[in-house]
Amino acid sequence: MTDASLLSRPADAAAAALAAGRTETLPRASEPVVTVVADVAGPSETAGSRVRGLAWRSLLLPWLLPLGLLLVWQFLSATGILSTAIVPAPSDIWDAARQLAARGELQHDILVSLRRVAIGFSIGALGGLQLGLAVGLFESLHDLLDRSLQMIRTIPHLALVPLMILWFGIGEEPRLVLVAMGSLFPVYINTVGGIRNVDPKLVELGKSYGLGRAELIWSIILPAALQPILVGMRYALGVAWLTLVVGETIASRDGVGYLVQNARELLRIDIIVLAIILYAIAGWLSDLVTRLIERRLLRWHPNYADRVKA
């Protein structure tokens, strides 16, 4: 066989090359080949300290990035690379916060905003939950209400601000109504979806074990739909804060939104940035609370069983 004929048959050529190149590294059939998959001395202290190390890591690691950014930010401001006319230094913001706190304004505004979110969200989420339960559980109510609700849902609720002012004036009501409307639909949609996705086999089981309608809902349908409902609540809480930012720009006399409005007129960039940071902290805290609730209520769920995260 000539070289040319070898080349014309690529499969043979490849096999020949393989054989020539690899025979030396291939073990002989008689030699045992040992692959060490794992070699652990024993379940000693190392395992425990590793778990503790992991806990510390998941506790500290999320803070690394914000703290690092803060340090870089302070450094850039201090060296003048970042003009304080554009963004104030973190230390300036801290000073502004201390001044506001000393006059009692900061605490007051934060509390007022928290109260608005709490009231608006409670009304909206409860309404969304009730509507969702009604529509999810009763076919006739689904036919009656769902289409209308879906239509209302598509309206951006912030577009209703002028209407709200006309209807309710410039008091607390338009803000609360807006926050409630923003929180209602995420909860509604997830509740309906959660109920519709309940495993029919479990419902059948409940029926064959003689559960009445109320007990079927309480023991099987609601717990099965709980996870999506809580996801809806988390999302709604985010929308509630977003709505509040807009709502508090409507002729308000207190609240974090008012703080921003006022600071803009006085050209106090430090207070504006402070307010933005406050929103970030508020969002993070409310998310943390809902996640803690989730972990408690869904502790039976394999995905939530032993995840500790803030």
Residues that bind another protein (CB under 8 A): 201-202, 204-211, 215, 219-220, 223-224, 226, 298-302, 305
Residues in contact with 232: Cβ distance below 8 Å, sequence separation at least 6, in sequence order: 128, 186, 187, 188, 189, 190, 191, 194
- Please write down the HEC assignment for all residues of 141-197: HHHHHHHHHHHHHHCCHHHHHHHHHHHHCCCCHHHHHHHHHHHHHHHHHHHHHHHHC
**Quick one: 52 or 299, whose CB is closer to another protein?**
299
| Straight-line distance from the first to the last Cα atom of the chain, in angstroms, rounded to the nearest whole number | 72
**Quick one: 98 or 299, whose CB is closer to another protein?**
299
Burial status of residue 97 (CB atoms within 10 A of its CB: 0-12, 13-18, 19 or more): middle
Q: How far apart are CA 134 and CA 144, in angstroms?
A: 11
Element (H, E) at 97: helix 90-102
Residues in contact with 78: Cβ distance below 8 Å, sequence separation at least 6, in sequence order: 89
CB of 298 to another protein, least distance (A): 8
**Quick one: 42 or 302, whose CB is closer to another protein?**
302
Tokens 């720009």 identify what position?
Answer: 249
Q: How far apart are CA 50 and CA 163, in angstroms?
A: 59
| Among the listed residues 54, 118, 20, the one whose alpha carbon sits nearest the alpha carbon of residue 307 | 54
**Quick one: 62 or 212, whose CB is closer to another protein?**
212
Q: How far apart are CA 289 and CA 293, in angstroms?
A: 6
**Quick one: 184 or 195, whose CB is closer to another protein?**
195
**Quick one: 123 or 203, whose CB is closer to another protein?**
203
**Quick one: 173 or 215, whose CB is closer to another protein?**
215
Give yes or no for a contact between 294 and 304, defined as CB atoms under 8 angstroms apart. yes
| Among the listed residues 63, 64, 60, 42, the one whose alpha carbon sits nearest the alpha carbon of residue 52 | 60
**Quick one: 50 or 207, whose CB is closer to another protein?**
207
CB of 186 to another protein, least distance (A): 23
Burial status of residue 126 (CB atoms within 10 A of its CB: 0-12, 13-18, 19 or more): middle
